[in-house]
Structure 1
Amino acid sequence: MVQVNRRQIRKARIEIVPMIDTIFFLLVFFMIATLSMTKQQGLPVNLPRAATAEREIRENVTLTITREGRLYYNKQEIALERLGSALKGDLGENPRLLVIINADTDVTHGKVVEVMDQVKAAGASRMAIATKLKGER
């Protein structure tokens, strides 16, 4: 009887651990590369002036009335008496300007109506009052 040397046949396996290491390395590399790109965009630069530059036309304006009764025009505090002239300037550029009123729940109804009167007197034809869905924080 002839005895044949049998080699043990090993099944081929795909080693997944080195593949996972490579994927994590690439993930970290791209995260760091992305962070460094966003930092470069935030550098302070004095831009040159151009005669042909176009001004950005606003689509909407946000008026915020705080609990204390302070009025803010696009996050800048403004007196109620100056609201009309500020709105007229933006309405001159865009007559279809949407005025969004954010009023705190503790603000009196009268204060909101005063602001709405100023908006209408300035000539705004589109106005909205911001609300939240019940249960939303």
Structure 2
Amino acid sequence: MGMNVASSSGGGGRRSRRKPVMAEINVTPMVDVMLVLLIIFMVSAPLLTVGVPLDLPQTQAKSLEQNDQKPIQMSVDIKGKVFINDSEIAINELVPKLKAITDARGGLEERIYLRADKKADYGTVARVMGLLSGAGFKKLALVTEADQG
């Protein structure tokens, strides 16, 4: 019975042949997981915004979008003339006339639509807007056409 003593180091020769440990992180699996998560979130996000299905009661009340009154429309033409709906009015009579119309309709909270020719004098349009703002009309909307191009 004998012992085989081949080397005096005791550990054999395998340790010296091993590759050193890599300190770099392999990024490819992390990118793959991130892409899969991105696809899952992109597919599931529209499903989460559906909301709670409800069977709402039926009523005879009108919706808020319906309005029996014709909106107040102001216009400024190319010559600088000011119109309320379809009737021409002088600029100095503009505020008293509008206040009379809105008082008959229920107050200053009504929206006023302002239309102006694109070649109209900018100063006239700005003056009309300033008069309306100074008189307390806060809901002023500028009307434009949709771009066809």
TM-score, L = length of structure 2: 0.49
Structure 1: state its 5+ residue gaps: 1-56
Q: After TM superposition, give the deviation of residue 106 of structure 1 in Å.
A: 0.2
1:125 paired to 2:143: no
Partner residue in 2 for 1:106: 119
Partner residue in 1 for 2:74: 63
Output the aligned Cα RMSD.
1.8
The one-character-per-residue Cα deviations of 1:30-72 (angstroms, maximum 9, x if unpaired) are: xxxxxxxxxxxxxxxxxxxxxxxxxxx8463100111111111
- Contact kept, 8 Å, 2:99 with 2:108, in 1: the verdict is no
Secondary structure, counterpart of 1:84 in structure 2: helix
Secondary structure, counterpart of 1:69 in structure 2: coil
- Contact kept, 8 Å, 1:58 with 1:90, in 2: the verdict is no
Q: After TM superposition, give the deviation of residue 122 of structure 1 in Å.
A: 2.2
Counterparts of 1:72 and 1:123, CA distance in 2: 19
TM-score, L = length of structure 1: 0.53
Q: 5 Å matches for 1:1-137?
A: 58=69, 60-92=71-103, 93-135=106-148
Partner residue in 2 for 1:23: none
Q: After TM superposition, give the deviation of residue 120 of structure 1 in Å.
A: 1.2
Secondary structure, counterpart of 1:119 in structure 2: helix
Counterparts of 1:124 and 1:58, CA distance in 2: 18
- Contact kept, 8 Å, 1:58 with 1:97, in 2: the verdict is no
The one-letter code matched in structure 2 to 1:63 is M
Counterparts of 1:99 and 1:120, CA distance in 2: 11
Residues matched between the structures, number: 80
Structure 2: state its 5+ residue gaps: 1-67
The one-character-per-residue Cα deviations of 1:51-94 (angstroms, maximum 9, x if unpaired) are: xxxxxx84631001111111111100000000000111123233
Runs of 4+ in 1 over 3 A off after TM superposition: none
Cα distance change on mapping 1:58 and 1:123 into 2, 3 Å: farther
Secondary structure, counterpart of 2:109 in structure 1: coil
Percent identity of equivalent pairs: 22
